[in-house]
Structure 1
Amino acid sequence: MSEAKQLDVTIMGREFRVACPPEEEVALMEAVAFVDRRMREIRDSGNVMGVDKIAIMAALNIAHEFMGTRIAGGFDVADFRRRIGHMQETIDEALKEQQQLF
């Protein structure tokens, strides 16, 4: 496992520094964009005031959705999607090497 690097991310106009292994940087940035989008949607609805309350509501909504992805019998849709994503990355890398042959 490679050493974590420090990344500056922005969520709802606030900057945060987070540690992240280089191989997970793309996934982290997708998560940041997702959380930022969800928090902005809640803020724009006008029903919740204050960044702290917006963050809590976003966290609860995301947790509820995540828990809903688990199907009885232990099948985890989110884990399945992550695995497919990793497989796709591996395939893309292999195809890049093959393109050099032509």
Structure 2
Amino acid sequence: MEQLDIKLLGREYRVACKPEEKEGLLAAVAYLDGKMRDLATKTSSAGERLAVMTALNISHEFLQLQRVGGFDIPTLKRRIENINGRLDTALAEQESLF
């Protein structure tokens, strides 16, 4: 485990994480910070109340995704494969320029 300093609403926190989870944790921090800032501008909430309200909103979003079956993984995979194919074609066309 390594120690990682993060910032939420300008306040620093030290958390522990596995090196392989660092990127995901930093993405979660950015997401949470954005959600907290958004809610803070829309309400007069601050401190613990803001943290609880943000947690409730994120939990609600998560449960909504679960109720509707989450992401359609097969469709996402097909779209990614399609994009990869188009990129391969475009890159192959560009190779003749070099």
- TM class by smaller structure: 0.5 to 0.7
**Equivalent of residue 18 in structure 2, options 6, 21, 41:** 21
Q: 1:50 aligns with which of 46, 56, 59?
A: 46
TM-score with structure 1 length normalisation?
0.64
Cα offset, 1:69, TM superposition: 1.1
Q: List runs of 5+ in structure 2 lacking aligned partners.
A: 78-98
* Structure 2 residue 55 is the aligned partner of structure 1 residue 67: no
RMSD over aligned Cα atoms: 1.7
Number of matched pairs: 73
Once the two structures are superposed, what CA deviation does each residue of 1:41-96 show, in whole Å capped at 9, x if it has no partner?
01111x23321111111000000000111146xx554xx6xxx8xxxxxxxxxxxx
Specify which structure has the higher proportion of helix.
Answer: 2
Uncovered stretches (5+) of structure 1, i.e. residues with no partner:
85-102
TM-score with structure 2 length normalisation?
A: 0.67
Task: Write out the 4+ residue segments of structure 1 that deviate beyond 6 Å after TM superposition.
Answer: none
Question: In the TM superposition, what are the counterparts of 1:6-17 in structure 2 within 5 Å?
Answer: 6-17=3-14
